Amino acid sequence: MKLFVGLGNPGAKYAKNRHNIGFMAIEQIAKDYDFGPWKGKFQAVVTEGHLGSEKVMLLKPETFMNLSGQSVGEAMRFYKLASSDVTVFHDELDLAPGKCRVKIDGGHAGHNGLRSIHQHIGPKYGRVRLGIGHPGDKNAVSGYVLRDFPRVDADWLDDLFRGLSEGAPHLASGDSGRFMNAVALRVTPSHSSKSNSFNLSKTKSEPLTESSAQEPGSRLQQLINRFK
């Protein structure tokens, strides 16, 4: 079994906060793959289902963010899972809105949810870092993450969640490359980066083929055609 954890704060007051993007991500997965009903367990709400051939439990801690590790550790011990079986979806200030990165192991970078998980299961677990951007002033971070996403963010959030969901079976099987490709095919060009993790010329009506991706000229031409 794999354990996918979404980080956030429980309750309607926080449901649409930037800090709750982890909850939102696994809620999309549960919906798209017809997971069972959410049930209270492990100081959390959980649901089980399958992603491809992998049995997966989705977990949303109800302990509030800074105690998330209590819930994750309890579930892990009950099912006798290794920390490598755990993947945590969380908000990331150091990534621009709409960006997504997969990371294994490493520090918690001051994120209270990750800090708590580190304390209970150690650092050797997977993370799906979901960019929400930074307010520009470290003193404004708390207010920023605890505010709702503005309506203008609805489109890129929808693209991101669909990509995460479509790639989820690959993530469950351990293929982070194919998972990231699924996200890339959904995320809009305006959220591309210099790292080339996303296709600059990808559009839903004109998918970029593997062969054309290898030809710089055709890539440029596709971009030009989009603005004719």
Task: Write the CATH number for 166.
Answer: 3.40.50.1470
DSSP letters spanning 50-81: EETTEEEEEEEESS-GGGHHHHHHHHHHHTT-
211 shares a domain with 121: no
Q: How many CB atoms lie within 10 A of CB 184?
A: 19
Residue 189 is predicted with a pLDDT of: 54
101 shares a domain with 169: yes
209 shares a domain with 100: no
Catalytic residue at 19? yes
24 shares a domain with 127: yes
Residue 10 is predicted with a pLDDT of: 96
Using a 10 angstrom Cβ sphere, with 0-12 exposed, 13-18 middle and 19 or more buried, the burial of residue 94 is middle
170 shares a domain with 117: yes
147 shares a domain with 225: no
Residue 188 is predicted with a pLDDT of: 62
- For 151, residues 6+ apart whose C-beta sits below 8 A from its C-beta are none
- Tell me which residue range forms the domain holding 220: 201-228
Whole-number Å distance between alpha carbons of 153 and 219: 27
pLDDT by residue for the chain (228 residues), tens digit each?
999 999 999 999 999 999 999 999 999 999 999 999 999 999 999 999 999 999 999 999 999 999 999 999 999 999 999 999 999 999 999 999 999 999 998 888 789 999 999 999 999 999 999 999 999 999 999 999 999 999 999 999 999 999 999 999 999 999 999 999 999 999 865 443 443 333 333 333 333 333 333 444 445 445 445 444
103 shares a domain with 23: yes
Positive/negative CA dihedral, 116, 101, 5, 28: positive
176 shares a domain with 209: no
113 shares a domain with 62: yes
- Options 19, 111, 170, 191, the catalytic residue: 19
223 shares a domain with 141: no
Residue 211 is predicted with a pLDDT of: 37
212 shares a domain with 149: no
102 shares a domain with 87: yes
∠ CA 99-104-110, nearest 5°, is 70
pTM for this predicted structure? 0.81
